[in-house]
Amino acid sequence: MNSSSLPDFLFDNNMSPHLAWGMCGFGESAGHLSAFFPPDTPDVVWLEQAGRQGVAVVTRDLKFAWRPIERETLRIYRVGAFYLGGKNLQHWQMVQQIVRHWPEMLRLSKETPRPFGYLLRPYGSKIEALNLD
């Protein structure tokens, strides 16, 4: 496992690696956390690497937006994060959610000063900015 060169978008372990691989199949710079870090890697370790390399994280875990240690890590290392909203979604619904929001995720990742957090709604095209302060 090599974290020396991460893709532009890193999908968290709480999401299927097939989602990241699918985006790669369409030529996007995306990868799954499990391809770069051992499974027991603490969140603060891989988030630090993501921030240092300017990687945007894609996750379903909203604790990064509200738990003090994760929020502080996002701020210190200037991590950009996209949170997939919705509970009990089927895999195909997550695929739709990512694909529907992908063009805006690309734009926001390039144009938004870091750190940032955005919530991707499961239906429709709304992306909501989250306050990380």
Domain 9-129 class in CATH: alpha beta
Q: Which segments of the chain have a pLDDT < 50?
A: none
pLDDT of residue 100: 94
pLDDT of residue 1: 54
Helices 17-25, 91-111: axis angle to 10 degrees equals 60
pLDDT of residue 65: 72
HEC string of 75-92 equals HHCCCEEEEECCCCCCHH
pLDDT of residue 68: 81
